[in-house]
């Protein structure tokens, strides 16, 4: 039986009007350029679900299985947790149209856009949840195109026993250098595999250090060349990739974040209660331990808290 993730340690504190009103617990690991852990807190060797931080590795598995995409922006979309902005939805629709499919082929559930501005725009226009707006629709479109290219059935493409998912599992296990400790159902309905934070950080380092032209490097380069497609205009991973040259970054649900920077190192973290507000201050602290600095990190070092519409405190790293 796999070791159980039992939770981390206090990583961030919530300070309001000078009073500490709470804390967020979690775990974080920092690897140097050689993949050696140089800092860690909490539980970094027990398995967790990386959620959407697995998408770059799933995209690699699709490429290796014959995904017929050459436009880097399309590959970025397949690796994305997109905000549902107009350009995201148009590109998803174009991928499906290229395959002669409509949205009924998508197994991801109907949803509103993940991005606040796109969601408000959809509601103002009288729209409702649709599968294309779901933040994983790019990944699911890529899965469908891969199945077509490989001659695999589209029906049940999301099931763990399907040949597609077996290939994607192999890619995740290869790049994390770990066997999957558990298989779950992600929010989009596709499988999610449990690996450790150390394995996840190692995977991101392997992606950015891969040989130019190889499948992992093609995916990493596509994401870094099109950060807005990976997240959205104001997404955390998008802004990080814009602000730190060469950085590969991807968020995951339930407080997960993973980054890799060639020649520098990698970080993977999980906030136990899933709070997004605690991820960035802890990630900034981790990157600074690797000697990384940039104006965007200063912006993210503390997340402001408001009272009466004005800043009265912040969420900040304890680590």
Find the angle CA(146)-CA(150)-CA(154) to the nearest 5 degrees. Answer: 65
How many residues would you count in the chain?
319
* Rounded distance between C-alpha atoms, residue 199 and residue 139, angstroms: 22
Q: How much is the pLDDT for 97? A: 95
What SS3 class is residue 202?
helix
Per-residue pLDDT tens listing for the chain (319 residues): 467 899 999 999 999 999 999 999 999 999 999 999 999 999 999 999 999 999 999 999 999 999 999 999 999 999 999 999 999 999 999 999 989 999 999 999 999 999 999 999 999 999 999 999 999 999 999 999 999 999 999 999 999 999 999 999 999 999 999 999 999 999 999 999 999 999 999 999 999 999 999 999 999 999 999 999 999 999 999 999 999 999 999 999 999 999 999 999 999 999 999 999 999 999 999 999 999 999 999 999 999 999 999 999 999 999 8
Per-residue pLDDT at 169: 98
**Tens digits of residue pLDDT in 181-196:** 999 999 999 999 999 9
Q: Would the CA dihedral through 264, 199, 203, 281 be positive or negative?
A: negative
- The pLDDT of residue 4 is 87
Question: What integer pLDDT is reported at residue 3 of this predicted model?
Answer: 77
Q: Are 231 and 237 in contact (CB under 8 A)?
A: yes
pLDDT at residue 2, as a whole number: 61
Helices 197-209 and 163-176, axial angle in degrees (round to 10): 90
Assign 42 to helix, strand or coil. coil
Tokens coding 26: 């979690």
The string of DSSP letters for 44-76 reads -SSEE--GGGGHHHHHHHHHHTT-----HHHHH
Q: Which residues, in sequence order, are bridge partners of residue 303?
A: 315
Closest CA to 268 of 278, 255, 258: 258
> Taking a C-beta distance cutoff of 8 angstroms, is the pair 261, 290 a contact?
yes
The pTM of this model reads 0.96
Helix (H) or strand (E) holding 195, with range, is strand 195-196
């Amino acid at each position: 039986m796999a070791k159980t993730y039992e939770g981390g340690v206090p990583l961030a504190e919530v300070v309001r009007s000078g009073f500490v009103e709470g804390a967020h617990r979690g775990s974080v690991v920092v690897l140097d350029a050689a993949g050696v852990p140089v800092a860690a807190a909490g539980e970094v060797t027990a398995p967790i679900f990386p959620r959407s931080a697995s998408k770059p590795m799933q995209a690699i598995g699709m490429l290796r299985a014959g995904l017929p995409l050459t436009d880097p922006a399309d590959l970025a979309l397949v690796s994305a947790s997109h905000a549902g902005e107009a350009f995201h939805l148009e590109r998803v629709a174009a991928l499906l149209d290229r395959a002669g499919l409509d949205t009924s082929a998508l197994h991801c559930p109907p949803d509103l856009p993940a991005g606040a501005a796109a969601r408000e725009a959809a509601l103002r226009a009288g729209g409702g949840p649709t599968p294309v707006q779901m933040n994983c629709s790019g990944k699911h479109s890529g899965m469908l195109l891969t199945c077509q290219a490989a001659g695999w059935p589209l029906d049940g493409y999301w099931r763990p026993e399907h040949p597609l998912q077996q290939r994607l599992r192999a890619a995740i296990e290869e790049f994390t250098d770990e066997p999957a400790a558990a298989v779950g159902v992600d929010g989009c309905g596709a499988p999610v595999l449990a690996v450790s934070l150390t394995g996840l950080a190692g995977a991101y380092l392997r992606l950015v250090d891969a040989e130019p032209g190889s499948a992992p490097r093609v995916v990493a380069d596509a994401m870094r060349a099109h950060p807005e497609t990976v997240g959205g205009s104001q997404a955390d991973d998008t802004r990080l990739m814009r602000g730190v040259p060469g950085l590969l970054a991807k968020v995951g649900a339930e407080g997960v974040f993973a980054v890799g920077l060639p020649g520098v190192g990698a970080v993977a973290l999980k906030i136990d209660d899933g709070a997004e507000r605690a991820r960035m201050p802890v990630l900034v602290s981790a990157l600074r331990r690797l000697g990384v600095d940039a104006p965007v990190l200063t912006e993210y070092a503390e997340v402001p808290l408001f009272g009466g519409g004005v800043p009265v405190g912040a969420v900040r790293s304890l680590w």
